[in-house]
Amino acid sequence: MDTQTQAPYKRFRPERYKPQMALSWWWQKPTYLLYILRELTSVFVATYAVILLLTLRALGAGGEAWSDWLTTLQSPGMIALHLVILLFAVYHSLTWFSLAPTALVLRIKDYTVPAKALVVAHVVIWLLCSIAIAAIVLTR
C-alpha cells in the first residue's frame, strides 16, 4: 500500500535515523515469546496431520504394513513426539479460544456479553466435544 501522501521533509534538517529491529525481537518480551510459541504450534499441528496421513496410508496398505506402523507408533520416540504435539495443540486451542472475544462482540439488546463469558463458553463447548469424541473412540 502506498502511504506517502506528501513529499518527504527536506528543508532544514532532513536527516532521519532509521532504527533497525533486532533479529531477536521475539525474545525481548514474554508476550512476544508467547506469540511466537502460539505461531509455532502450527508446525506441530501440521506434523500430526502428516502422521495421520501416514496412518491412513498404512491402513490402506493393510496387513503387515499396518502392524509395522503400529509398532513404529509405539516406540518411545513417537510417544514423546505425540506428547509434545498434544502440549502444543492444547496451547493452540487455549490461545485460540482466549482470543475469541477480540473478534466477537455479542450484544443482546443493550447488554454486551462479557469477554470472559465468551471464553468460558468456548472452552466448555470444546471440552464437551472432546469428551464426546473420546467416549465414542474409547468405548468401541
Partner 1 sequence: MQKSIKIEVKRYIPEKQPTPFYQEYEIPLEPKWGVLDALTYIKDEMDGTLSFRWSCHMGVCGSCGMMVNGQPALTCATFLEEYLPGPIRIEPLDHFRVIRDLVIDTDDFMGKLKRVKPWLIPVEEKPLSEGENKQTPAELAAFKQYTLCINCLLCYSACPVVGLNETFVGPAAIALAQRYNYDSRDQGQAERHDVLLDHGGAFDCTLIGECSRACPKHVDPTGAIQRYKADGALEYWKRLILPRGAASK
- The reply to whether 102 sits near partner 1 by the rule CB under 8 A is yes
Burial label for 28, CB within 10 Å (0-12, 13-18, 19+), is exposed
CA–CA dist 129, 136 (Å, integer): 11
CA–CA dist 140, 135 (Å, integer): 8
**Binder among 64, 110, 137, 139 for partner 1 (CB under 8 A):** 110
Pair 72, 78: CB distance under 8 Å: yes
CA–CA dist 38, 94 (Å, integer): 10
Pair 73, 130: CB distance under 8 Å: no
Q: How many chain residues are in contact with partner 1, going by CB under 8 A?
A: 31
**Binder among 59, 80, 83, 99 for partner 1 (CB under 8 A):** 99
Q: For residue 16, how far is the Cα from the chain centroid?
A: 39
**Binder among 10, 13, 50, 137 for partner 1 (CB under 8 A):** 13
- The reply to whether 30 sits near partner 1 by the rule CB under 8 A is no
Nearer to partner 1 by C-beta: 72 or 93?
93
Q: Choose one: 22-30, 67-75, 82-90, 120-128; the region binding partner 1 (CB under 8 A).
A: 22-30
* Residues within the interface to partner 1 (CB under 8 A): 1, 3-6, 8-9, 13, 15-19, 21, 25-26, 28-29, 31-32, 35, 39, 99, 101-105, 107, 110, 112
